[in-house]
Amino acid sequence: MQLIRQMLSRHSLQTHDDYTRAFREIMQEIALAGLYRTGFFKKAAFYGGTCLRIFHGLDRFSEDMDFSLLQADAGFSFDPYLNAVKQEFASHGMDIIIKTKKKNKQSQVESAFLKNNTSIYDFLLDGDVLRMHPGAPSKIKIKFETDTDPPPGFTTENKLMLLPFSFYVKCYSLPDLFAGKMHALLFRKWKTRVKGRDWYDLEWYVRQGVPLNLSHLSERIRQSGELKSPQINSQELFSLLQERIASLNVSQAVSDIKPFLNDKAKLDIWSENYFMDLIAHLKVK
């Protein structure tokens, strides 16, 4: 429990959301440690918003954990890794439930869910005094998803974590992470729902000067059936982005991203014109 308190001390804990976000992030880090002990990262790589948050300083919070196999494997299952993850949590005084999701239809995504049985209150002891905070979370649920049929053309890098102990996590490189985000932003099939987190991450990649791997984006688009030509070019990409921005409901995007930010004033600039100007600074490779 001392390590959990140490990990909590890295966060500013003032509000209900602060506690929820901090405890979720700690659970994500412990889950990575448990997966590492099983050799999971010899077979798979970490990507998505939580990867950006933990290893690249993305200043928004993220809920789920996304992985991709390094090579396609239709028979992949999370089951062999779950006991080690559970044991990792137990070694830090935390009881969890973790189980795979039974698929109702054919899918290339394998899912698992993790939920804590140990309340954050158990880790806020100061001597004999429990520093109770109104609204601190009792239960947090984290979804794991692994792409078992990854599109080719991506590269990985090993990123160091220092807590709960020192270990390396295999992650997608930033240009390929950007390609995955761009594919989601352009082709996510959510009907009328707008995922503002996609647009916030686009803004982050552009401001960081990360070049988008156009070749890997082409592979992703081809696999999902939206690409007719062998390779998407820069002009086609920008045309697709402009169409997407022109149809974007900015107010819905703002509403989606707000709960994941501390500094919500960053969203005041968001508008159709802003995103049109923003993509003029996008780099491709």
The whole-number pLDDT of residue 132 equals 45
Query: Closest Cα to residue 15, out of 124, 134, 115, 119?
Result: 134
The whole-number pLDDT of residue 105 equals 64
pLDDT of 228 higher than 80: no
pLDDT of 121 higher than 60: no
The CATH number of the domain covering residues in 2-172: 3.10.450.620
| Angle subtended at Cα 139 by Cα 135 and Cα 145, rounded to the nearest 5 degrees | 130
pTM of the model: 0.89
The whole-number pLDDT of residue 125 equals 45
The whole-number pLDDT of residue 67 equals 97
**How sure is the predictor about 131, in pLDDT bands with cuts at 50, 70 and 90?**
very low
Residue type, 4: I
Task: Please state, in angstroms and rounded to a whole number, the distance separating the CA atoms of residues 136 and 119.
Answer: 9
The whole-number pLDDT of residue 241 equals 96
Query: Which residues are CB-contacts of 249 (< 8 A; sequence separation ≥ 6)?
Result: 194
Domains of the chain, residue spans:
2-172, 176-279
Q: Which residue has the higher pLDDT, 63 or 245?
A: 245
pLDDT of 19 higher than 90: no
